[in-house]
A = this chain, B = another copy of it.
């Protein structure tokens, strides 16, 4: 691949690599503040109950206990992005009242000198619960009029969108097929468990919170709002973070607000870190979907109608419900050029731990349904699944009906071609050889996923670039790095724009006191949204540099450029000055100037470009045991432009592995409201022995609105893995698995019903 850039497109090492591999990196859990207390939560043992009485007298007298707070007294946070936009739309989120709504719902927090004492104090508290009838199944919950999980009813949100005329679409179809798909409650399973923060509430009214949030600026706003402080008095400091995947996309139920309140009460810093068990039982997971699809298509393989009905299990409290179901639209409505679509969704409360943001944000669920359905359509028609996609996908120049925006870049075709070639699709997709005990099969799927949240949520990104007197650069950005390498990518973008060595750029810590407004790290947005802001700020700084250089070199500004840290006349390169020399002159030598170069940029990205991709899976199914081995995965993704190819390969590898788990093993098992697999022995994420060769194919379509053509990648990489694996399983053994995870047991049952003994 020819590279016209000096650092963009190169796999430079991570700027945080050294700290991480040597253990110097400090995560929220590692931090200790002077005088810091440790907090623990008393959690409900019942899925639905009212706290009738609390006796904290014994706990209070524990000498190490410094503060106790009930959920009721904790300040309430009102709304997330969407309802932050209108005061009147605001409503209390979790931690509302004296009702507990799932097993693990916090009742009370204790801050003590050490964790053991806090635990001990919890055991001294007597709670009198009045048990209420629970409801666990969302379909039941929708219908049930007797059990109200929330005052306003059990349906948190209902959406109905119609494009075209669905009945007409079905009339125009030669075939109509109907299927029902079910997905699981996956957990983020981050290497650093979800839920750790330290709140330091100074009685002066300044609140500092160390938190591994993905949304430092929004967290600041939520906390400031809840606590009645100006945002400027709330400081969110984000240390190194061990993975997020949406799990830290907002305040954590029972965490920050409780810590802040306990800190205020005790007058000391308070730390709370959830255990892995708490992570599994009481933090957000992926929404289980029930998807009913009815799809009409012609015998030529043209899709004419798609009716989508989703029932989504929100859990006990609604956080990211609206956005998640909205994102399912991009797969269900946006990916294929289907003229007549009806999309109906119900977000339903149940007495289970809450569900929220998770890599893919509604798309993985919808993708499993949709891309399984596409495979069924292809089979019905005897058509190659790739061909079916090629006939129907929506490409560059077309209008995406969900965003109502023209698609400016789409490399899906190249993803399909290159991915197919990589896995040797043509050879392997011939079914003739499916025989014997162990059977191989291949499957594929397509996906799209918007970059950022431009058309749905406030999506600001900002950056400040400071050029120092030696020509080195300090970059201020709140673009939180959860481990994916954002900061390195942003450094590359700044270096490319400025024409300097990337090693001479430092990036600020993620700290709301010193970094400009940013919408957070979610929606695969930082390379694109953050990158646009960084590039703009760098361009502004560069422009200021060239103004000075033009005077100094006595040559027109428009003839000047910077390369390898040297400002030169493009028409006469011998006329030049190093950036460092010019900066020393401006900032130190010329006493009448002493100007630092400052470039700043803020605002929303012009678009929300979809990233496209194709997954290919080759599996081997043991027809006797139902065991599935994934033999190979190919992920081909159109990233617009790969700023750092190694990072993209890392995302693809990581996403595919997460997708294997989603496909085959992952999902919380909840019985009577109780999580039965709240540890890594029982909740099985893929082990290294489960991980096959994974090929990453990078397609560069050049997104014109993106920084150097880039768009997002983080989430896309896991969206279609499960559907590709399910399709491969079908290809191998002829059973259509419509429920995630596709466990060995389920396959065995399906094989037996397919081939009754």
Which residues of chain B come closer than 8 Å to A592, judged between CB atoms? 604
Do the beta carbons of A203 and B18 come within 8 Å of each other? yes
Give the nearest-CB partner of A204 in chain B. B18
Q: How large is the interface on A (under 10, 10 to 19, 20 to 34, 35 or more residues)?
A: 35 or more
Which residues of chain B come closer than 8 Å to A160, judged between CB atoms? none
Residue A88 at the B interface, CB < 8 A?
no
Q: Within the oligomer, what is the number of copies of this chain? A: 2
Do the beta carbons of B593 and A603 come within 8 Å of each other? yes
**Interface residue ranges of A588-625 to B (CB < 8 Å):** 588-589, 591-598, 600, 602-604
Which residues of chain B come closer than 8 Å to A24, judged between CB atoms? 202, 204
Which residues of chain B come closer than 8 Å to A131, judged between CB atoms? none
Residue A232 at the B interface, CB < 8 A?
yes
Which residues of chain B come closer than 8 Å to A505, judged between CB atoms? 232
**Interface residue ranges of A231-246 to B (CB < 8 Å):** 231-233, 235
Residue A278 at the B interface, CB < 8 A?
no
Do the beta carbons of A469 and B595 come within 8 Å of each other? no
Q: Mark A508-519, 1 if CB is under 8 A from B, else 0.
A: 110111111101
**Interface residue ranges of A316-355 to B (CB < 8 Å):** none
Given contacts A26-B34, A230-B503, A517-B469, whether A604 and B593 have CB atoms under 8 Å apart is yes
Contact residue among B224, B514, B517 (Cβ-Cβ distance under 8 Å from A508):
B514
Contact residue among B84, B232, B233, B596 (Cβ-Cβ distance under 8 Å from A516):
B596
Question: Within the assembled complex, what's the spacing in Å between the Cα atoms of A206 and B474?
Answer: 13
Contact residue among B34, B85, B468 (Cβ-Cβ distance under 8 Å from A588):
B85
Given contacts A86-B589, A469-B517, A506-B513, whether A598 and B462 have CB atoms under 8 Å apart is yes
A232-B504, A511-B514, A519-B594 known; 13 new pairs, CB 8 Å cut-off, are: A18-B203, A224-B470, A230-B471, A456-B591, A457-B591, A458-B587, A459-B594, A516-B596, A517-B596, A591-B604, A593-B604, A594-B604, A595-B604
Could you give 22 example pairs across A and B, Cβ below 8 Å? A18-B203, A22-B203, A24-B202, A85-B588, A86-B589, A456-B591, A458-B589, A459-B591, A460-B594, A462-B598, A466-B516, A466-B517, A476-B514, A506-B513, A508-B514, A511-B514, A516-B598, A517-B587, A519-B594, A592-B604, A593-B603, A595-B602
Which A residues lie at the B interface, using CB under 8 A? 17-19, 22, 24, 26, 30, 34, 81, 84-86, 202-204, 206, 221, 224-225, 230-233, 235, 454-460, 462, 464, 466, 468-474, 476, 503-506, 508-509, 511-517, 519, 584, 587-589, 591-598, 600, 602-604
